[in-house]
Amino acid sequence: MCGIAGYIGPRQAAPVLLEALKKLEYRGYDSAGIALIEDGHIQVRKARGRLQHLMDITSGGMETPGHVGIGHTRWATHGEPSDRNSHPHLSNDERFAVVHNGIIENFRQLKEMLISRGYHFHSDTDSEVISNLMQEYDQGSLVETLAAAAVHLEGSYALGVLSLDEPGAIAALRKDSPLIIGRGEGENYLVSDIPAIISHTRDVYLLEDGEIALMTDSEVSFFDAYGAPIGKKVFHVDWDVSAAEKGGFEHFMMKEIMEQPQALQETIRPRIKDGRIDLSELGLEGGWLKALHTIHIVACGSAYHAGRLGKNLIEMSARIPVTVEIASEFRYSDPILQPDHLVILVSQSGETADSIAALREAKRQGVKTLAIVNVLGSTIAREADHVLYTWAGPEIAVATTKAYTAQVAALVLFSGYIAQERGSAYAPRLNILAEALLKLPEVARQVLDDHSRVQYLASLFFNHRDIYFIGRGIDYSLSLEGSLKLKEISYIHSEAQPAGELKHGTISLIQPGTLVIALATQKKLRDKMLSNIQEVRARGAVVLSIAARGDKEIAAVSDHFIGIPPLSDELEPILAVMPLQLFAYYVAALNGNDVDKPRNLAKSVTVE
């Protein structure tokens, strides 16, 4: 959500900033802007709409001189998308320029105070108060001024700041929104996510909450919230640069769908040793696991759907009660937590604001926390007591695919591990599960190798206005993800329902020609799904079913059928989601949508 870029060094800054912002487009935005220091002035260029518009009016940045600058892609929270609401924002005296990710919760009070002191505002944003606070509390030092202004801010923020009084520096401050410093040779970078600078440097500093950074072209200094100097260690990024590029695919989403076998292999294979699931890396003591009473899985969006699958798996294998809660609800629900509980946070980015708040609430109550995350060194990874990385690699498309399946695989591993350590009645199945897990990446590759049938089915249904997904048990949890994937990139209304709940209301919406996608991967519930499919077909629905390859009965009662290789009840949902991802992708593409950057959405949601 929003993107920040900053550059200081020997090169012309504007093209570097625009290149970095281009690589942050996946975060979601509706306007873009840059500010540069040149000849004693801060020059600002900004525009509503896609970054390409800003690139066009600045000739790729070549018409905007200066070697020190900051840039921003804005996702509107306060004030409509417009040129004047775009970042950067200048102070009234035009000596400070600020870019801001996050939300200033007390901006109205601050704005009223500043207006009473003679300040004028040129935007409807919450962010403009920051640049004027910098002017109001100017201490004669950029770091001290930023620290003095931040005392008055409530909310979440990642800030990049220019000052005419220190034209050879960029200051940065982070609270609850990610911010990263890239260290180069005679040049330094400021970004909100690593992919923006991975082609320039692999050495980065990860700012913690309350920390201030001051960048010049030759060094970076760090300070605490009070302006006192502190030290920081360099973090070396070992991603393959090509992982953040499209690699010949038309969209990042398709590339990432096709990367799922590799992501699954990286997540699974190192954790199965001699036929056993080995999660000793977590550092969870066997005695504590045996005494574990309740698990709370907390997440948002697709990670929440992965968590629902995790609940199904953990309760089935380890016989431990599991609650799954949306992070934004968990933090305000006054959760009842006990010392023998475990809170699991599931997040691709590790920077999701509501999940971070939920993590901190759990820690405040003294409960052990486990993070399942994809991004090394992210806030959730750093603050959780234990971390299980998914190793899916960089995921650029807003709609998650490989990170989701890697999260489900991690939860399968965890469910099997605690069943193993607790000696549950499920334990004798674990050798079979471990063997199936090792086969999973190759079987997933088979599912993805031939997707021409899914593309054909998408061509039949891409113009439908309403699509329903049904399933039972694990398949219902899976149907939630299939429905979300479709609606978020195709903009088609879609709902997921437990198949047995249809008759309690939703079936009234089924009429001749309505598409119903039925998931039937669970053997023990298969006969029930046969009945539910017949229920909707009797009311005129067109049914597309996904079940194990060779299931003639499911195929016979369906209008269209996609078969997936049989593996195990625990793992077939990972395989079944892949045709759903492909279906959503092709439907969106056939409708001419921007698949990687769907409207109104952001990759990393860092505000409430």
Residue 41 half-sphere exposure, CB side, CA atoms within 13 Å? 6
Secondary structure (DSSP) of 448-468? HH--HHHHHHHHHHTT-SEEE
Task: Report how far Cα 503 is from the mean position of its chain's Cα atoms.
Answer: 35
Neighbours of 150 (CB within 10 A): 19
Omega into 88 within 30° of 0, i.e. cis? yes
Residue 232 is a catalytic residue: no
Torsion of CA 491, 258, 298, 191, to 10 degrees: -90
Neighbours of 53 (CB within 10 A): 13
To 5 degrees, how large is the angle CA 430–CA 435–CA 436?
95
Which helix (H) or strand (E) is 71 found in, with range? strand 68-74
Phi-psi group of 220: left, alpha or beta (phi > 0 → left; psi -120 to 50 → alpha; rest → beta): beta
**Tokens matching residue 462:** 């891409």
Among candidate residues 175, 255, 402, 603, the one labeled active-site is 603
Burial bucket for residue 423 (CB in 10 Å: 0-12, 13-18, 19+): exposed
Q: Which residues of 9-45 are buried (b: 16+ CB within 10 A; e: fewer)?
A: beebbbbbbbbbbbbbbbbbbbbbbbbbbbeeebbbb
Secondary structure (DSSP) of 158-197? EEEEEETTSTT-EEEEEEBS--EEEE-SS-EEEESSGGGT
**Tokens matching residue 381:** 């990874």
Neighbours of 331 (CB within 10 A): 22
**Tokens matching residue 194:** 């690593």
Q: How far apart are CA 55 and CA 525, in angstroms?
A: 55
Q: How far apart are CA 249 and CA 237, in angstroms?
A: 24
Q: How far apart are CA 398 and CA 150, in angstroms?
A: 31
Residues 6+ away with beta carbon under 8 Å from 415? 310, 313, 314, 316, 317, 318, 570
Give the residues across from 101 on adjacent strands. 158
Residue 300 is a catalytic residue: no
Residue 562 half-sphere exposure, CB side, CA atoms within 13 Å? 28
Helix axes 128-136, 107-116, angle to 10 degrees: 50
Among candidate residues 2, 46, 311, 597, the one labeled active-site is 2
Any idea which residue has 């149907």 for tokens?
A: 479
**37 phi, psi to nearest 5 deg:** -95, 125
Instruction: Just list the catalytic residues.
Output: 2, 603
